[in-house]
Chain A
Amino acid sequence: MSSLSCTKLTMFTIIGVIVQIIGLSLFVFGFFPAKPALSGFSGPESFRPPSFDPVRNENHSMANLPPDELRSLYQELSGFPPFDQLILMVIDGLPAEFVLGKDGKPPRTELIEAMPYTQSLIASGMAVGYHAKAAPPTVTMPRLKAMVSGAIGGFMDVAFNFNTQALLDDNLIDQFFKIGRKMVMLGDDTWLKLFPGLFTRHDGVSSFFVKDTVQVDQNVSRHLSDELGRYDWDLLILHYLGLDHVGHIGGRNSVLMAPKLTEMDEVVKMIHTGRILNQMNNHGKTLLVVVSDHGMTESGNHGGSSYEETDSLAIFIGLNDVSGYTSSTKNTVYQVDIAPTLALLFGVPIPKNNVGILILETFGHLADAVFLHNSWMSKNLSRLEHGEEYRTVVGAYNEFLRIASEWLSHRATDKPVNLLAFGVAAMILSCLILLSLLFLICKEDFDTEKKCLSKAENKSMRTWHLDETFTVVVIFILVISMGSSSMVEEEQYIWHFVSSTLTLLLLRKALQSLQVVRAESLFNLFKGQNKINGFQTISIALLLVSGRILRGWHQGGVNWTDLPDISKWLEQAGDDHVLKAIQLVAGLLVIALSLMSLFVLDLHRILVAVIGFCFLTPGLLVLQHIMLNQDSMFAPSSFSTTLVQTIYTVLGFGTFGIAVASPWLSPILTSKTCSYNSYMSTSDHKEFLLELRNSSFLIGWAYICFWCLLQLLLQQPINSTPILLLLAQVFVGMSYCFYSGPHHKQWIEVALFYYMGMAGHYALGNSNSLATIDVAGAFIGISSHSTILSGILMFMITYASPMLAILSMVMYISVKGINYLALPLNVDSGQLLKRLLGFPCLLPLGLNSILLVADTVVLILMRNHLFVWSVFSPKYLYVCAMTVCVYIGVSIVAATVIYTYWVLSFKRIMHGSASIKGEK
């Protein structure tokens, strides 16, 4: 029988993983290319009607003109006097609904009252406001790029949102610079990173301290009166971040929202009265444009493509005559339309990659007669004799422009087919490798168990049980459901449904082996031979109940987020003190549960006390942080940062120390009064296994509990109870596996942990939209801006539950390790390691590779789907991150167990040689 050796298995697994990594990276780089953009800058040709003979030479000479001449040339070409000064006020995250209302209805009264001046400007026709629909992803940098260049960026711009880079394509700011306009920037320093060196004066603020809602805006406004008094600039950019921060902290209905809107209104009033209303001194005309880069969801997040997030604002204040505009007409434009409109209003060429169209109403101030006459003259008069025909043609032209603009915005970019095909092939190959390895060890497992069992039991082993079938069916369900956009949006239902169905099937299985004659005697379940079954049944019931509470905690997804759930109910019903009390109780219970579980194994007392102390220290520190945190909600104090950093250090050293030390300490670990010694022969092999079991239990315990403590610190306060429930689920699952005995299929139990981990992922409020990523938590305890550190924290917060499930595999191996005491003594180390590590490591890898391949195929099939950028691509990013999570988790588990095994056998060899020397 050609059985798979341990080295071969490891080698093939590593090969499979490497092939998968290569395939995945090829695919990602192929499918999410950098934005395809025309290079170069547009020049005077932008003002001429398109013609067939390109005038390149002329262009070339003109591009080298000095700024002043270029400026007058452009003015001459455009045929009307441009505005002189532009104030671009960006209010980060302000939904247009707050100012303009929705579906023709005005906004809520408290919002109107919060912005009296702006509302009066709009009501009196002094300002025109638009819903400027933003394209996903609704995060700041891609949206700023869209506003100034008129082009829709690629999806990968999100990835660079934390690592801003200079905008190299043609854009308004560069065009302004070319004609020698002076620019000043106050606010978000993203602008400085996008346009380094173009601003004559600037004061950048960082969007880093999400919890700061006051200082961040004061830093912008403090220069404002000074700048308004000066006339040496042509473009003033104000970027206010405070409103976005308010949203991130408290959502749309935060108590801080109305004061923040009033503050913004004051700024508008100040600019309007100070600059636009007194336009004398021959300083020319000033235009104030108030825009927002994106909107926000009810909970204040953004990133996705829902109406609430894409509903951004554009208000033009200072166009003298806006007769063409009435508030009742359609006032929805695209965000990219801002770029060409501003370009024409200020007499610069329209940026080269622009896909927006002019907002016609903003040109109402021009001398209509001249404007219309010129355009009329340029038409072919013989064909267009009647005004009606002219209007039809103009209408058709506008229609064409609109369609072309939308098509360009949604255009699926060209993808390198070879790269994609190679990537997909590599991923499929690695999936096949991993699955065949899984199949092989499954078969081997089956064969060895067949040898050990009697014939009657053998027969029952061979038939497929319902739970096994279902575990496999789950994969098909998941793969199929990935093709439907609404199922992707509501994936949490699927995971919860399948994991609880699997648990119900296991409950059925546990009831199968209950030996009761009459149903009444069910009540004395815990007596006699039924004790094990009774514990199993109770464990499963607990799993079901905690799973259901977890499911009810966050109403995740996209379509039904407004349905009631426990977290909303708690936030509405309880004030801050109740929430804090719940958080504290959850923290205490997590600590208590962890300490209790430490005493389950009969380990050495003193050592247990030391480890318990090691655990208690960070635990109490976390509790202290919880106590402090709520008081200092609006300003990060340096003390709490130090505290958090201390906790990180203690947690890190604690986990690492226990993981490294426990195999060396294993002989003392096993208490002298250990019950196993009494009935077990003290043979070397068994003692070895016992030590392995104890030390891996301790390491697994440390991984699980320290991870949960870390999550208590990082997650939002409302998520502390789900963390407790997840921890309880892991321990209850362990007890189920302990009692399930050796004949229960291991892969079902590992799969159950994986499924529960995924269900828990959604129970912590995650979804397949980028908007649910907890950005605020990613800055806890970081004293300086670091993309890498906050990225790691964000990853840890988002993948708390799957990571917990995979890390718990160390304890699972320990719990199951006792089964191998029954193995024949002559099993070599490779075989043992393979049996220990086979399923816990290969199964997550295999499951994940199936899902990865399926999602890749779906993404390719759906590349022209309407929702490809808003639903399928974010989902794919989540799957990629999940793959990384599985890699990290599995390698930690494998490294831990191999290390423990290696240390123990090393010690055994040393011991052996020492005793031989002693005999000599």
Chain B
Amino acid sequence: MKNQNQNQRTKTTVVEASAAAIVSASEVFLVHSISAIGLAISFWVASSHHSITLISHPSQTLLHLWVIQCPILILLYSRYRQSPQQFSYLRAVGRGILGLIAGALVNAFGAIALGAPIGVKSLSKTINWSMMMSLFTVVPAASVFGSSWTDWQRIFGYTKPVGPIDYMICLPAHGAVLGAWFGAWPMPLDWERPWQEWPICVSYGAIAGYLVAMVASFLVVLVRGTLQHTKRD
């Protein structure tokens, strides 16, 4: 009974959400490509203006990355907030900023639980890395859903995205987490490469997973859109 109730509730929110903003595949493409361009710009700024790379200065590069990417993502995703009549655009932006900090805490907890080093030396690295991960995972969801627990549960608890916005949030977030998880595997090997340090290869993994999942989310939305079109015809 409870489950059924919940299912119904989920369905109603889904209906609301899809009613609030119907997003086309091209729009998904646009959002994703802007985020990817943002990533590219931040790397470019880091390497050309400050001549640092992820390997030489992991902490500063990650700082560049999330500082540049943060406004882009929050401003982008706040456009797709739920029930826009009720919540203003500014409020969604505020939720995004709150989500950035909360998500950073969650990501840092996860990373440390999985074995990230604790110590004064790695503190700034961990903070900057978890800020970046928070941008990839929590911030879009925070901007869009606010504190609606059922939506969060649907996206992150059950991984059952419904509709284009859900895919747009869910797939890249999971891609980033999975990429980071796999990125940690080379760390204990004795290859003695500089990139085996925390958090370099984990960040590479996360970024790679994020990019791949963005492509996947665009493709899924595209395919589902055409399928629905053909059905309607």
Q: Evaluate contact between B153 and A511: CB separation under 8 angstroms.
A: yes
Report the minimal beta-carbon distance from A483 to chain B, rounded to whole angstroms. Answer: 13
The residue from B112, B119, B149, B188 contacting A519, defined by CB atoms under 8 A apart: B149
- Chain A: minimal CB distance from B37 (Å): 32
**Is A484 part of the binding interface, using a Cβ–Cβ cutoff of 8 Å?**
yes
User: Which residue in chain A gives the minimum CB-CB distance to B148?
Assistant: A518
Please, which residues of chain A bring their CB within 8 A of the CB of B152?
519
Closest to A510 in B: B157
A/B interface sample: 15 pairs, CB < 8 A: A457-B3, A486-B190, A490-B188, A496-B115, A497-B114, A501-B114, A504-B113, A512-B153, A515-B6, A516-B149, A518-B149, A522-B149, A557-B188, A559-B188, A564-B119
Q: Is B44 an interface residue (CB 8 A)?
A: no
Inter-subunit contact B113/A518 (CB<8 Å): no
B114 to chain A, nearest CB (A): 5
The smallest C-beta distance from B161 to any residue of chain A, in angstroms, reads 15
Docked complex Cα distance between A521 and B119 (Å):
33
Say whether, besides A456-B4, A517-B149, A517-B150, A508 and B115 are in contact (CB < 8 Å). no
Nearest CB in chain A to that of B3: its residue: A456
Min C-beta distance of A919 to chain B, whole Å:
47
Given contacts A511-B157, A512-B153, A515-B6, contact A548 B115 (CB under 8 A): yes
Is B54 in the interface zone, CB < 8 Å from A? no
A456-494 contacts to B (CB < 8 Å): 456-457, 460, 466, 484, 486-487, 489-490, 493-494
Interface status of B189 (Cβ within 8 A of chain A): yes
In the complex with contacts A497-B115, A548-B115, A520-B147 CB distance below 8 A? yes
Other than the known A496-B115, A508-B156, A548-B115, what 11 A-B pairs have Cβ atoms closer than 8 Å? A456-B4, A457-B3, A489-B190, A493-B187, A494-B188, A500-B115, A514-B149, A517-B149, A520-B147, A551-B115, A564-B119
Look across to chain A and name the residue whose beta carbon is closest to the beta carbon of B142. Answer: A519
Tell me the complex Cα distance, A460–B189, Å: 39
Q: Which residues of B contact A564 (CB under 8 A)?
A: 119
- CB-nearest residue of chain B to A548: B113
B118 on interface, CB distance cutoff 8 Å: yes
User: How far apart are the CA atoms of A486 and B187 in the complex, in Å?
Assistant: 11
Give the Cβ gap from B160 to chain A, nearest Cβ, in Å.
Answer: 11
Q: How far is the CA of A520 from the CA of B148 in the complex (A)?
A: 9
Known: A515-B6, A544-B113, A551-B115. A559 touches B190 (CB 8 A): yes
Number of interface residues of B (CB under 8 A): 28
Whether A552 sits at the interface, judged by CB under 8 Å, is: yes
Q: Nearest residue in A to B156 (C-beta to C-beta)?
A: A508
Q: A856 CB to closest chain B CB, in angstroms?
A: 23
A845 vs chain B, min Cβ distance (A): 28
Q: Tell whether A547 is near chain B: CB-to-CB under 8 Å.
A: yes
Q: CB within 8 A of B157: which of A489, A512, A520, A560?
A: A512
Interface positions of B (Cβ within 8 A of A): 2-4, 6, 110, 112-115, 118-119, 147-150, 152-153, 156-159, 181, 184, 187-191
Interface SS of chain A: helix
Cα A514 to Cα B4 with chains together (Å):
15
| Nearest A residue (CB) for B116 | A548
| List of A residues within 8 angstroms of B156 by Cβ | 508
Query: What is the bound-complex CA distance between A484 and B188, given in angstroms?
Result: 11
Across chains A and B, which 8 residue pairs bring their CB atoms closest together, nearest first?
A519-B147, A490-B188, A493-B188, A512-B157, A486-B190, A544-B113, A516-B149, A559-B190
- The smallest beta-carbon distance between A549 and chain B, in angstroms, is 10
Most-contacted residue by chain B among A511, A512, A519 (CB, 10 A):
A519
Most buried by B among A521, A522, A544: A544
* Residues in A828-857 with C-beta less than 8 Å from chain B: none
Minimal Cβ-Cβ distance residue in B for A551? B115
Contact across chains for B150 and A504 when beta carbons are under 8 A apart? no
Which chain B residue shows the least CB distance to A520?
Answer: B147
Residues of B within 8 A of A497 (CB): 114-115, 184
Closest to A516 in B: B149
CA gap between A517 and B4 in the complex, in Å: 15
Q: How far is the CB of B84 from chain A (nearest CB, A)?
A: 19
A500 to B113, CA, bound (A): 7
User: How long is the Cα–Cα vector from A517 to B14 in the complex, in angstroms?
Assistant: 15
- Cα distance A518–B158 in the bound complex, in angstroms: 17
Q: What residue of chain B has the Cβ atom nearest to residue A503's Cβ? A: B113
B189 and A486 form a contact (CB under 8 A):
yes
The answer for the CA separation of A497 and B181 in the assembled complex, in Å, is 9
CB–CB A548/B184 < 8 A: no
CB-CB under 8 A from B184, the residues of chain A are: 497
Which residues of the partner chain B approach A503 to less than 8 Å between Cβ atoms?
A: 113
Asked whether B188 lies within 8 Å of A501 as measured between CB atoms, the reply is no
**Complex CA distance for A500 and B109, rounded to whole angstroms:** 12
- Cβ-closest chain B residue relative to A519: B147
Q: Give which listed residue, B115, B181, B191, contacts A493 with CB less than 8 A.
A: B115
Contact with B along A541-573 (1 / 0, CB 8 A): 000110110011000010110001000000000
Shortest Cβ distance from residue B17 to the other chain A in the assembled complex, whole angstroms: 16
Q: B148 to chain A: which residues have CB within 8 Å? A: 518-519
Nearest opposing residue in chain A for B191, CB measure? A486
Tell me whether A501 and B181 are in contact (CB under 8 A). yes
Q: How far is the CA of A609 from the CA of B187 in the complex (A)?
A: 51
Asked if residues A500 and B4 are in contact (CB atoms below 8 Å), the reply is: no
Q: How far is the CA of A504 from the CA of B6 in the complex (A)?
A: 24
Of chain B, the residue at the smallest CB distance from A517 is B149
